[in-house]
């Protein structure tokens, strides 16, 4: 989920859209050396009145505002300048509740970048539940406008569609789970995974923080790209009980990039199960 092309498109938006895309590009540059794909204007994530997707909101023609704001953002979200009301992480049922014997990675509370995705995809929170509407001076949610489109009711994703993940996440790919069964941390960057059915991830230091990813290139280039499967470092306080060192976790955005034009926002096309086989050894 190239950025230069996206920034050019973002200039067609006004106000917050233009400023925010520039800020997002700057932040994204910290995590990858390749310009990010900001082609969101032509995807279902463009929810504005002029959007090309299924769901549209008449209250604004801006694009970025549904997720980002240049001022007054929620800094508890592990994404840039987050403009949405985050759901309570304790209200979700996670994959570890199934008690399956094949689950060898520890599952942490819902959080990191995943809680940001679920602020729309929980099937409870309206897509217009922003912190700061354009020019509002920090007025919660949009004050004017109506929703249209077959996949929502009042801005809430309709029950029964795949994008409405709901609060029960047990039938979805695990999120907030240690990659490869655990065993990797910021102090133990080499060695073997606890689970041999996973590929060894790469890591690097960016601005003093260890970041992890799984290369998707046929010949790994040792550079973190937005087309790699990204892993998200969680500190002990944001992980499971007993965690003592920051380590990489699988989150929603490990496989999905909200800014790409790929089908279902996958980081790479899943032809031949390429997304699955990027991490899983089968």
pLDDT tens digits, 211-237: 999 999 988 888 999 999 999 999 998
Reported in sequence order, the residue ranges of 117-198 that DSSP labels E, i.e. its strands, are: 147-148, 152-153, 156-157, 177-178
The tokens describing 178, both together, are 């240690």
pLDDT tens-digit series, residues 111-169: 999 999 999 999 999 999 999 888 766 666 788 899 999 999 999 999 999 999 999 99
CA distance 109 to 76: 14
The tokens describing 75, both together, are 């800094």
pLDDT attached to residue 4? 34
CA distance 171 to 92: 12
Q: CA of 282: how far to CAs of 11, 231, 271, in Å?
A: 44, 20, 15
pLDDT tens-digit series, residues 16-63: 333 333 333 333 333 343 333 358 999 999 999 999 889 999 999 999
DSSP state of 25: H
Phi, psi (rounded to 5 degrees) for 20 = -65, -40
Average pLDDT over the chain reads 84
Strands 229-234 and 152-153: unpaired
DSSP state of 97: G
Phi, psi (rounded to 5 degrees) for 97 = -70, -15
Strand partners, 156: 153
**How much of the chain exceeds pLDDT 70, in percent?**
85
CA distance 179 to 185: 10
pLDDT attached to residue 6? 37
CA distance 48 to 256: 21
Segment (H or E) for 111: none
């Amino acid at each position: 989920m190239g950025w230069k092309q996206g920034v050019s498109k973002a200039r067609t938006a006004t106000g917050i859209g233009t400023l925010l895309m520039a800020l997002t590009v700057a932040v994204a540059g910290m995590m990858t050396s390749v310009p990010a794909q900001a082609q969101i204007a032509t995807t279902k994530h463009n929810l504005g009145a002029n959007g090309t997707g299924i769901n549209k909101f008449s209250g604004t023609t801006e694009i970025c505002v549904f997720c980002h704001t240049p001022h007054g953002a929620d800094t508890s979200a592990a994404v840039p300048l987050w403009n949405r009301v985050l759901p309570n992480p304790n209200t979700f049922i996670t994959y570890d509740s199934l008690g399956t014997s094949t689950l060898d990675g520890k599952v942490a509370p819902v959080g990191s970048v995943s809680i940001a995705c679920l602020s729309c995809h929980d099937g409870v929170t309206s897509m217009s539940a922003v912190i700061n509407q354009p020019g509002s001076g920090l007025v919660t949610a949009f004050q004017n406008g109506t929703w249209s489109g077959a996949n929502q009711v009042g801005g809430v994703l309709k029950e029964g569609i795949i994008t409405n993940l709901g609060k029960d996440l047990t039938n979805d790919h695990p999120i907030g789970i240690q990659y490869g069964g655990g065993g990797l941390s910021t102090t133990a960057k080499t060695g073997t995974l606890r689970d041999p059915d996973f590929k060894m991830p790469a890591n690097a230091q960016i601005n003093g923080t260890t970041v992890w990813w799984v290369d998707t290139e046929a010949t790994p280039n040792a550079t973190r790209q937005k087309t790699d499967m990204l892993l998200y470092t969680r500190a002990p306080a944001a992980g499971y009980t007993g965690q003592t060192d920051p380590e990489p976790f699988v989150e929603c955005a490990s496989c999905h990039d909200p800014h790409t034009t790929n089908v279902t926002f996958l980081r790479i096309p899943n032809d031949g199960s390429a997304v699955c086989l990027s991490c899983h050894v089968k």
